[in-house]
Chains A and B, each alone.
Chain A
Amino acid sequence: MGKINMENPGSGGRMSRRKLLLGGAATAAVVLVKSTFGKMVQTSLPESSLLLADPTKVPGPFPGEIGTRSEFESLAKKATLTSSRTPLQSLYGTITPSDLHFERHHAGVPVMDPEKYELLIHGMVDKAMVFSLNDLKRFPSVTRIAFLECSGNFRTGKVEMSPQDICGLTSQSEWTGVMLSTLLREAGLQSGASWLLAEGSDAAVMTRSIPMRKALDDAMIVYAQNGEAIRPEQGYPARLFLPGWEGNTSIKWIRRIEVGDQPYMTREETSKYTEEVKDGKIRQFSFDMDARSIITFPAFPQQIERGWVEIRGIAWSGRGRIVKVEVSTDAGKSWDAAGLTGPVLDKAHTQFKLLWHWKGQETEILSRATDETGYLQPTMHQLIAARGESMGGYHLNPITAWYVKKDGQVLHRPER
């Protein structure tokens, strides 16, 4: 007892300073200080010197080599064996901190040596090419902000569910890389080239078939995320990035692109990322992520107080810009246009806000997004009507409702 975990200060609140403050039973704390050799080392100080000190009267630690989260904050992804989910309800604005970007991979995160990394492009090209990471970085670069979302990003069924539980498999970053079209121009496309196969370096050697029109439109090979090298969990040292398309197509740790004239019908695009629709049919190559929104405040597990509440959330569409988000504070009887925080970007999480004066009444609050194609985020009822009772679990983007109790507690209201 009594040590602040400085190595992992946000780790699930096991021994956070907040708990020390509340509990008051501890006697010592660990802080980082600079040693005479200039390295950061841990040292024990009496807890009282930290907790009781007026910070304007005691100098703090010197500058360090890497920043840290405040020990009072505890941000964490929710992880399972196959994925981990972004804590949307704990974030502000629209950029996901890189270490909180969701993960979904099929055989773990490979260790990739950037010195040995190479991308092979072959098949229906004039000249099969191999590019090193350094080669990729020397091409004209492109930077854009865009979301990345897993097409299996929907959970429901319980009232105690947060935005992270419901749709935490979407995140947003500023991505930097080279346009795939720039690389294909170097290799030279042969006549009839209409599809490509993208293949990863993970232990699943994951593959997806991509239509050439997307490859030549806005596909990127990205090597940086939020200003630094892309994280291992996101595909270090380079990944395919297909803005607005289901996350599985943006192959991580990309090692090979084969250009062909037909899809390869990989396991992911046949038995997995397809969905049953009406009449016993199975919908395939459902690439685009339809428009969606979710209120992230107030949402479970938050509790609100009477008075003015700024309702906040994010909205996004894989088909372009968000043009409107409407919020209802009366269980869907009436809708008000929320304010959008600009600049509103193409295929990007967009923040919306609406001021609401809550008088303590029991109600439901909901949001619905409209994108530039005129698509309005549907209800679950509409999705079932369109796809049938036995519809598959991919590409579900229904309106999410939050139930506000009289005491200010906010619970998820599963779709009826």
Chain B
Amino acid sequence: MMQKISALFLLSFLHACSADTVRYQELQTEQANFSEETPDNWPKSFGLGKEASVARISSMDIDVRPDGKGLPSGSGTVAYGRSLYLTKCVSCHGSKTSSGIYDRLFSYDQSRVHPDSLKGNKRNKTIGNYWPYATTLYDYINRAMPFNAPGSLRPNEVYSLTAYLLYENSIIDENTVLTAMSLPRVKMPAQKRFVNDTRKGGAEVE
């Protein structure tokens, strides 16, 4: 069973990223309340469904948040991640010298033209220049990769692949060991680029 990191750590981390907290509180433009009156003839409860057991919840609750909530115990290294990448990932995602059929995860050439670009002047989106949170790597690799065997990786393998990809994107150095404590502290270069949607209908095109 996964071990969640301590609440104390969480609190201190949340304090540290308060600017982000403000940003996504802005998205709650109105108080989140049950918008419509419950019909008069509705009972307090319909008595349907059953209460979920703790075991049931923990077997399914695999998500990992930017503050680290949800990360399991374990650790990973760049070296082990590199060997895993070369056996499990390289055929789809390519290497430094070859390209794969799916997303390139690190740049070997920042000037490479994005193939889907309308104007032909966009950079290839990579973890290094586009992903705002390192925890997302853990969450996604753990739930969905490798494509032909999703959910098959152990925590140490996921931490190691995360470490390798962060290393190849020049975000951590080769000796960094990733754990539930260190991964949420990795600052991603692209995080400062992210802004909320400000479109709200009306005459203005945004």
Q: Is B175 an interface residue (CB 8 A)?
A: no
Q: Is B3 an interface residue (CB 8 A)?
A: no
Residues of A near B196 (CB, < 8 A) are 283-285
Q: A205-B143, A255-B60, A382-B205 are in contact. Are A107 and B49 (CB under 8 A)?
A: no
CA distance A285 to B199 in the complex (A): 10
Query: How far does the Cβ of B90 sit from chain A's closest Cβ, in whole Å?
Result: 19
Query: How far does the Cβ of B103 sit from chain A's closest Cβ, in whole Å?
Result: 8
CA distance A274 to B30 in the complex (A): 23
Q: A270-B133, A284-B197 are in contact. Are A129 and B51 (CB under 8 A)?
A: yes
Q: Is A282 an interface residue (CB 8 A)?
A: yes
Query: How far does the Cβ of A246 sit from chain B's closest Cβ, in whole Å?
Result: 10
Q: Is A91 an interface residue (CB 8 A)?
A: no
Contact call B51/A265, Cβ cutoff below 8 A: no
Using CB atoms, name the residue of chain B closest to A184: B34
Using CB atoms, name the residue of chain B closest to A212: B32
Using CB atoms, name the residue of chain B closest to A81: B101
Contact call B49/A129, Cβ cutoff below 8 A: yes
Residues of A near B144 (CB, < 8 A) are 106-107, 203-206, 267
Which stretch, A55-63, A373-381, A400-408, touches the partner chain B?
Answer: A373-381
Size band of the B side of the interface? 35 or more
23 contacts between A and B (CB under 8 A): A129-B52, A131-B49, A185-B34, A186-B45, A203-B150, A206-B144, A207-B63, A216-B32, A216-B33, A217-B35, A264-B139, A267-B144, A281-B195, A282-B132, A282-B195, A284-B196, A285-B197, A320-B201, A373-B202, A378-B205, A386-B205, A389-B121, A393-B116
Residues of A near B154 (CB, < 8 A) are none
Q: A256-B61, A265-B132, A276-B122 are in contact. List 20 more A-B contacts (CB 8 A).
A: A107-B150, A120-B60, A122-B52, A128-B57, A135-B48, A140-B39, A211-B32, A262-B24, A281-B193, A281-B194, A282-B130, A282-B132, A283-B197, A284-B195, A284-B197, A287-B197, A288-B197, A288-B201, A375-B201, A378-B205
Query: How far does the Cβ of A187 sit from chain B's closest Cβ, in whole Å?
Result: 9
CA distance A267 to B60 in the complex (A): 18
Query: How far does the Cβ of A155 sit from chain B's closest Cβ, in whole Å?
Result: 10
Using CB atoms, name the residue of chain A closest to B195: A281
Which stretch, A191-199, A230-238, A307-315, touches the partner chain B?
Answer: A191-199
Residues of A near B29 (CB, < 8 A) are 213
Contact call B61/A265, Cβ cutoff below 8 A: no
Q: Is A280 an interface residue (CB 8 A)?
A: yes
Query: How far does the Cβ of B110 sit from chain A's closest Cβ, in whole Å?
Result: 14
Using CB atoms, name the residue of chain A closest to B48: A135
Q: Is A346 an interface residue (CB 8 A)?
A: no
Contact call A263/B30, Cβ cutoff below 8 A: no
CA distance A140 to B125 in the complex (A): 45
**Contact residues of A between 146 and 165, Cβ < 8 Å to B:** 156
**Contact residues of A between 163 and 214, Cβ < 8 Å to B:** 181, 185-186, 193-195, 197, 199, 203-207, 211-213
Q: Is A286 an interface residue (CB 8 A)?
A: yes
Q: Is B86 an interface residue (CB 8 A)?
A: no
Q: A185-B38, A374-B201, A376-B203 are in contact. Are A199 and B63 (CB under 8 A)?
A: yes
Set B49, B60, B151, B200: member contacting A132, Cβ < 8 A: B49
Contact call A263/B24, Cβ cutoff below 8 A: yes
CA distance A46 to B118 in the complex (A): 54
Q: Is A139 an interface residue (CB 8 A)?
A: yes
Query: How far does the Cβ of B121 sit from chain A's closest Cβ, in whole Å?
Result: 6
**Contact residues of B between 73 and 128, Cβ < 8 Å to A:** 116, 118-119, 121-122, 125, 127
Q: Is A319 an interface residue (CB 8 A)?
A: yes
Q: A131-B49, A132-B49 are in contact. Are A204 and B28 (CB under 8 A)?
A: no
Contact call B199/A130, Cβ cutoff below 8 A: no
Query: How far does the Cβ of A250 sit from chain B's closest Cβ, in whole Å?
Result: 17
CA distance A274 to B131 in the complex (A): 11
Q: A107-B150, A374-B202 are in contact. Are A197 and B45 (CB under 8 A)?
A: no
Contact call A258/B194, Cβ cutoff below 8 A: no
Using CB atoms, name the residue of chain B closest to A127: B51
- A114-137 CB contact bits vs B (8 Å, 1 = yes)? 000000111000011111100100
Set B28, B35, B193: member contacting A211, Cβ < 8 A: B28
Q: Is A361 an interface residue (CB 8 A)?
A: no
Q: Is A32 an interface residue (CB 8 A)?
A: no
Residues of A near B122 (CB, < 8 A) are 276, 390
